[in-house]
Structures are given as structure tokens and as C-alpha cells.
Amino acid sequence: MPTQPWILRHKFASLVLIATVAGASWYAYPKLFPVPSVTSYVVANAATSTIVVSVTGIGQVSASNQLALSPQASGQIIYIGVKDGQTVARGALIAEIDPTDAQKKVRDAQASLKSAQLSLAKLQQPATALTLAQTQDALANAKSSLTTTYAGSTADLTNTFQDLPSIITGLQDIDFGSETNKSQWNIDWYENNAAKYDTRAQSLRDTAYGTYGTAKAAYDATFTDYKNTDLSGTDATTTEHLLTEVYETAQTANNAVKATNALIQFYADQLNTNNLTVPAIATTQIASLASYASKLSSHSSSLFSDTSAIQSDKQTITEKTYALQELEAGANVLDVQSSQLAIQNAQNALQDAKENLANYYVYAPFDGTVGLSVTPYQQVGSGTTVATLVTHDQLAQITLNEVDAATVKVGDRATLTFDALPDLTIAGEVASIAPVGTVSQGVVSYVVKISFATQDARIKPGMSVSTQINTQVKTDALAIPGSAVHTSANGGSYVLAFDPPLVASSTAAANKGITSTLAPQQIPVTVGINNTTMTEITSGITAGQQVVIRSITSAATTATKSAAVTATSRTGGGGFGGAGAAGAAGAAGSARAIGL
């Protein structure tokens, strides 16, 4: 009887082996045969739109038909517009709180807005012929001033070299002459005689000797450069270099003069201290050194002033050149955007000021009968009941959390729907907001009452009501989908955009994503208000500009599918008891069940 193949004799082990090979193939194939990634982009165009920001709340139709009217501001009541028990119409002025401070803020905000608008208009206004001519003249004058400064520098260099050779020679004679003693240098003689009284004389002598050597070496190098330079035709760079070199040489020479003077003066001081007569030669040399120091100081000052004046003139030329270029080029794009942002901020501040001013007036939110609770000149606060308004009209009473309540104000428009009347939708208006919240299990909530714009007999007290309150409405806002706005590492906002824009073959293709080999650009933007779908952009991009909503990368999906197909084909062959991919998976499951 022929021996059976190993596979048939070990069916279970064979199935486990097949499952292991299939799993390894599934895992390894994408790594061994990677599929190039393909990125598609879903895009949208920035466009002007109306953005509505709203909050929602639920509650019930109120069983009470009276409403306590409270101001949103504190102060003194200066006017009451109704009498107690009077019937008033919706919008009637009940009371006015002194609005002086709020009016000032509106006035200041209006002035700030006007100033921002004027700044933008001035920025965008083309340069006049007079302004252009004045700027050109300023540049020409700066260049002329530099030419004059160079001429003055040349004269100062010449004047310095009229004195510098004689000063160096005179200093050499004083240091190394033998007028004091035929057998030694003057500085040695001064040292020896002063050292009889104070040993510091040696240090002073060595300093005088060393500084003279330094000054002489600097002078020789500078004098060579000076002789080899034609100051009448030299370029600006050479002139500036020579100015610096001569200035430093004059300073070095002055240090040497001061060192020699210090030695001789020290010698004279020792004689005076010991009531001895100072030789005439010492007095003469001290006078000569003083003259040298004065001349060197004067020349150094002139040369330093020349260098500073040249740098100042060159800086002025640079500034005037930039000013002329900017004038000719027109307003800078970033400056314009900054001014536009300033206008937007000023408009927001004005709107806030106007809304604050409105808080000083209490109006009837609906028709009704007034019951007054205050008198003229009484001080009231935001929680004070000014009057009670009784009406036959219906009210909705909803509850908002503290975050949403902070965004709602009296007069905000609302839309109401009713669970019991699914086909009914009516408009309303926020009539009051509870000044004090209630706390339940650590959560703070505020009761908001909403008046109905229209009455419907089907609405009964106690019915459930859902309300959407519009807290912000911005018309003609530049808007893009909220998913297109990203936050950078520094907390700023940006969008991804293509330039030029991507083009899709059809709307359906655009919704699935447009393939691009180029990466989108990152553009910083400033955002305004936003709701759950749209975000306002106040600066950074313009209407019609294309932004990326999301990107789709297909590499991982493609690779996974390829691996799956390969694994199936490799494990699905016949000859093993019909064990395909499903059989391998079942075998693997069996193996796990018995602990293999």
C-alpha cells in the first residue's frame, strides 16, 4: 500500500501552516510591494454669505401672561415714558436710565472708525505730483549732503597731515633727544632723576617708550597710504577707510604724547614736592606736548565727526530711496490688510458700544398693561424690576446653560417649534433673561422668556417648545467651510489653498476630490464669527479664492486591497481539501481555540 503524502496524513497541521502563510503574506505584501500614494483634495471657493450664529434651548409655553421688565444696565432713571396701569403697544419706551457714559463710548467708537477709514483712504490714495517731487528732492539733497561731507573729510585729512609729521618728529625729539644730558635719552634722564624720589618713574618711562613705538609704526603705515591716495578722485570706500585709519593713528599718537607728558610731569612734581627748581627744558617740553595733544584731539574730533556724518548721510539716502520706491509702488498689500483689519475692529467696537447703549432703555417687548415698580431718579441695577407687563399674548420659557446665556441679549430674534404641532413654526423675540441663574447639581442655568410674534389658538400653556435664538448675524461676510480652517502651532489660523486653482471635470468629481501632484500653500488668515458649518474670514484671502476642505489619500486602501487579493489567491488553491481563504481563516480560528 503506497504511503500517503505528509499533507494528507497531517491535515490539521497543514491547515495551520496555510493560515500562517496567509497571515504573513497579508502583513508583508504592502511592505514589500508598496503602492504609490495618491492624494485628492476636496475644495471650495471663498464667497460672501450671511452667517448666522445661534443657540438652542427647550422649555414650555408659559402659563403666566406677565413679564417682569429689568434693565440690562445700572444707573439712575431719568425718564419714565408710561403711567401705572397704562396699556402700551409693543416697542413702547417704559424707562430710560442715564446713558451719558454709554453715549460717550458710542461717540468715541464712531471717531475711531472714522479715523481708521481715513487712514485706509490715505494709504490707498496715489501720491500727488507735489509729494513725489518732494520725495525726489529729499533723496537728491541727501546725496548732495554726502558729497559735501566727503569733500569736508578730504580737507580734514589734509589738515591732519599738515600737523601729524611735525608732531611725530617733535615727540621723537622729546623722547630720544639729549637736551637734558648729552650721554642719554631724555626719557632715561627723566626716569633716573625721578626714581630718586619715587620708583614709579620706571613704569612711566617704559610706557612712554612703548607707546611711541606703536605710534611711529602706525604713522609710517598711514603716511604711506595717504601719499598713495589721490583724494580728488578716490572712491567713497577708500575715503572712508583712510578716515578710519588716520583717526586711529591720531589717537595712537595722542596716547604716546600723553605718556611722555606723564613721565616729564611726574619728574617735575617730584622736584616741586622736594622744593627743587624744575629745569626750563622740562617746562618747555611739557608745553610742547600740551600743544601736540590739543592738535591731535582737534583732528581726531574732526575725523570722527566726518565718519559719523558719512554714515548718517548714507543712512538718510537709504531711507529716502526706500521712501521713493514705496511712493512709486503704491500702498503695501500688508499695510492695506492691516488697515482693513483696523476698520473691522473699529466697526465691531462701534457695534458693541451701540448695543451697550441700547441696554439703558427698557421697551415693551409685546402689547400689554404696565405696572410700574420704580420712580424717576431712582437708582436701579441690572436685576431691578422696573415694571411688570401683563398681556394676553403667549410666552415661551426656556432654560439655557451659562455659556449660551452669556451670548443672548434682549431683542434677539428666535424661531420656535412645538412637539405637539410639528407643522407649526413661528417667530419670536427674547423678552427677558433672568439676572440670576439657578444651580442644579453644579450646573448653572438661566431662564429666558421669548415673546411670540404671532398668536395661534392651537398653542396651549405647558406645551413643549424648542427654540433657536440668533445671537449674531453677519451679512456680506467672506465665508468658507469651517473644516477648511486650521490652527497653527503658535495659535494662529491658516487655510490651505492652490494657486492656480484646481479644476475638476465635473461637480461629482469635485465632490470626490481632485488629484494634484502639487501640495497646497499655507496661508495665514484672521477669522471672525463662525457657526457649525461656516467661518468668517476677515483677512488673508479674497472672494473666489479656492481653499481645501479635506484631503483624501488612497495609498493605504489600495495597498490593503492588493494584499488581500494576493493572500486569497495564494491560499485558495485546490488540492488541500478545498481549503481557500475561508478555510484558512477557519483553521486559524480552530488553532486559537485549542491554544496553538
How far apart (Å, rounded) are the C-alpha atoms in residues 46 and 477?
A: 10
* pLDDT for position 333: 79
- Identify the weakest region by mean pLDDT among 15-24, 57-66, 438-447, 490-499: 15-24
* pLDDT for position 380: 92
Query: For residue 55, which phi and psi values (nearest 5 degrees)?
Result: -125, 155
Give the sign of the dihedral formed by CA 131, CA 136, CA 138, CA 139.
Answer: positive
Residue 14 has pLDDT above 70, yes or no: no
Q: What is 39-48+477-554's CATH topology?
A: 2.40.420
- Identify the weakest region by mean pLDDT among 21-35, 193-207, 577-591: 577-591
Which run of H or E residues covers position 541? Answer: none
pTM above 0.75, yes or no: no
Residue 515 has pLDDT above 90, yes or no: no
Sort residue 575 into left (φ over 0), alpha (ψ -120 to 50) or beta.
left
Q: Measuring CA to CA, which residue among 341, 331, 350 is closest to residue 121?
A: 331
Residue 475 has pLDDT above 90, yes or no: no
DSSP calls for 316-381: HHHHHHHHHHHHHH-S-HHHHHHHHHHHHHHHHHHHHHHHHHHTTEEE-SSSEEEEE---TT-EE-
State mean pLDDT over 260-269: 95
* pLDDT for position 205: 94
% of the chain at pLDDT higher than 70: 85
**Which residue did the predictor score with more confidence, 453 or 265?**
265
* pLDDT for position 25: 64
pLDDT tens per residue across span 321-368: 988 888 787 777 788 888 889 999 999 999 999 999 999 999 998 888
* pLDDT for position 76: 94
Residue 564 has pLDDT above 60, yes or no: no
Q: Which residues pair with 494 in a beta bridge?
A: 486, 524
pLDDT tens per residue across span 551-560: 887 654 443 3
- Residue 583 confidence class, pLDDT cut points 50, 70, 90: very low
Q: Cα–chain-centroid distance for residue 190? A: 69
Residue 179 has pLDDT above 50, yes or no: yes
pLDDT tens per residue across span 425-434: 999 988 888 8
- Identify the weakest region by mean pLDDT among 104-108, 131-135, 267-271, 283-287: 131-135
How far apart (Å, rounded) are the C-alpha atoms in residues 396 and 419?
A: 13
Whether 103 and 357 have beta carbons less than 8 Å apart is answered as yes
Q: Measuring CA to CA, which residue among 454, 453, 465 is closest to residue 396?
A: 465
The one-letter code for the residue type at 543 is A
How far apart (Å, rounded) are the C-alpha atoms in residues 92 and 140?
A: 69
Sort residue 61 into left (φ over 0), alpha (ψ -120 to 50) or beta.
beta
Give the torsion through C-alpha atoms of 164, 170, 172, 175, to 10 deg. Answer: -130
- Identify the weakest region by mean pLDDT among 162-166, 384-388, 540-544: 540-544
Query: For residue 105, which phi and psi values (nearest 5 degrees)?
Result: -65, -35
* pLDDT for position 233: 66
Q: Which residues pair with 87 in a beta bridge?
A: 369
How far apart (Å, rounded) are the C-alpha atoms in residues 23 and 27?
A: 6
How far apart (Å, rounded) are the C-alpha atoms in residues 455 and 461?
A: 12
* pLDDT for position 151: 85
Q: What is the overall mean pLDDT for the chain?
A: 83
The one-letter code for the residue type at 331 is A
How far apart (Å, rounded) are the C-alpha atoms in residues 106 and 575?
A: 90
In terms of Cβ atoms closer than 10 Å to its own Cβ (0-12, 13-18, 19+), residue 570 is middle
State mean pLDDT over 141-158: 89
Give the sign of the dihedral formed by CA 568, CA 570, CA 573, CA 579.
Answer: negative
Which sequence spans correspond to the domains of the chain?
6-36+556-593, 39-48+477-554, 133-329
* pLDDT for position 323: 85
- Residue 262 confidence class, pLDDT cut points 50, 70, 90: very high
How far apart (Å, rounded) are the C-alpha atoms in residues 594 and 596?
A: 6
**Which residue did the predictor score with more confidence, 268 or 64?**
268
How far apart (Å, rounded) are the C-alpha atoms in residues 85 and 118?
A: 51
Residue 530 has pLDDT above 80, yes or no: yes
DSSP calls for 149-182: HHHHHHHHHHHHHHHHHHHHHHHHHHHH--SS-T
**Which residue did the predictor score with more confidence, 234 or 580?**
234
Q: What angle do CA 253, 162, 291 make, to 5 degrees?
A: 55
State mean pLDDT over 70-99: 91
- Residue 105 confidence class, pLDDT cut points 50, 70, 90: very high
How far apart (Å, rounded) are the C-alpha atoms in residues 148 and 286?
A: 38
